Amino acid sequence: MSAAPVNAAKTGKRDEPELTFFDSPSVDRLAQMVWVMASELHVLRDRVRCLEFMLANQGQLDLNALDRFQPDEAQAKLLAGERDAFVAHLLEVIDGRAKSTSGRFPSDSPKETRS
């Protein structure tokens, strides 16, 4: 591990050492991105689990029924389409076609609310 100065003009940060773990700064930034995404994923999983507990405690959700849930044909099609769009967007990075979606999936994906 080494420290490299941060260029304040490029990053808007103070000139202080930036921790590095790999020979390539690009690999370091990719690793940092993975850690940030893993942290966000943990927060989301934790919050979803808490919502499940809260709904179950209020009698609004049977956790066993949630585990046994099987989407109907329309729901399965919607889920598959959203999954395919998400995977396609992730794979765009490999050939350099990735564009920011501002945290959203493609706008042509149908929206559905659960009742």
**Confidence bin at 115 (pLDDT 50/70/90):** very low
pTM beyond 0.75, yes or no: no
Return the pLDDT at 80.
98
**Confidence bin at 99 (pLDDT 50/70/90):** low
For residue 17, give both structure tokens.
């050492």
Lowest mean pLDDT among 50-54, 63-67, 95-99, 105-109: 105-109
Average pLDDT along the chain: 79
pLDDT digits (tens, 9 = 90+) for 60-81: 999 999 889 999 999 999 999 9
Would you say residue 19 has pLDDT above 80? Answer: no
Return the pLDDT at 96.
67
Structure letter (DSSP) for residue 114? -
Distances (CA, A) of 14 to 6, 7, 33, 78, 105: 7, 8, 21, 47, 34
Higher pLDDT, 74 or 90: 74
Residue (of 19, 43, 42) closest to 31 by Cα position: 19
Higher pLDDT, 53 or 28: 53
